[in-house]
Amino acid sequence: QITLKESGPTLMKPTQTLTLTCAFSGFSLTTSGEGVGWIRQPPGKALEWLAVAYWNGDRRYNPSLRSRLTITKDTSINQVVLTLTNMDPVDTATYYCAHRRVYFDIVGLFDHWGEGSLVTVSS
Amino acid sequence: DVVLTQTPFSLSVTPGQPASISCKSSQSVLHSDGKTHLSWYLQKPGQSPKLLIYEVSSRFSGVPDRFSGSGSGTDFTLKITRVEAEDVGVYYCMQDAYSPLTFGGGTKVDIK
């Protein structure tokens, strides 16, 4: 059974750096074809893909946010961490992590999602 | 970027009646592997999105067979044969083939 859970700050100030942790179980990020991604959703709006970390160390980012995003994994404790620098009120959103079934390259499937973590950016 | 346009924006359905949601892509999401990587998700109120359909028409594990997906190239449809009260929420299409991965704007379904 695959489960994922996000954790991190709920309130941030502009210009700060967001660090979110995704703790997962039910799979290993050392196994071929496994990945963990991040997706966010501003209140009342649609979903936006941010980044994916792959079992083989590869990482992919949304080009629109690439300069601000970093995704890392710690396979020893089954966690993936997302950092987003220079936070702004427009970054206020629920941030989800999700298991990625990877076929090849960027191609795959988000088949299990965490509950999400709401982050509000306000001065 | 691949832009996915969903219609209608919202839908109010009588229980037991069918419902249909369209997703149109700005370019083909048929990949070189011969598969079309277009998925559908349902986000129930206060919950995270749940996968319903992948590769256009394959139902994910545990998804009731009243949900079906169809389409090809740039035009895709999600159909619910008989809407139930538990089907309320926002439905999203997503393309998993090209970077950046993108989602449609969502279609809100509620019960009359």
* Phi and psi based region of residue B19 (left: phi greater than 0; alpha: psi -120 to 50; beta: remaining): beta
Q: What confidence score (pLDDT) does residue B76 get? A: 98
Q: What confidence score (pLDDT) does residue A106 get? A: 87
- Dihedral Cα B26, B27, B29, B30, nearest 10 deg: 150
Cβ–Cβ of A116/B48 closer than 8 Å?
A: yes
- pLDDT, one tens digit per residue, over A84-116 is 999 999 999 999 999 999 988 889 999 999 999
Contact residues on chain A for B39, CB-CB shorter than 8 A: 109-110
| B-chain residue closest to A110, CA distance | B51
Nearest to A47 among B37, B47, B49 (CB): B49
- pLDDT, one tens digit per residue, over B85-94 is 999 999 999 9
Nearest to A114 among B48, B96, B106 (CB): B48
Q: What confidence score (pLDDT) does residue A105 get? A: 85
Contact assessment for residue A94 and residue A1, using Cβ atoms and an 8 Å cutoff: no
Q: Is B22 helix (H, G, I), strand (E, B) or coil?
A: strand
Cα A69 from chain centroid? 10
What percent of chain B has a predicted confidence (pLDDT) above 70? Answer: 100
Cβ–Cβ of A47/B96 closer than 8 Å?
A: no
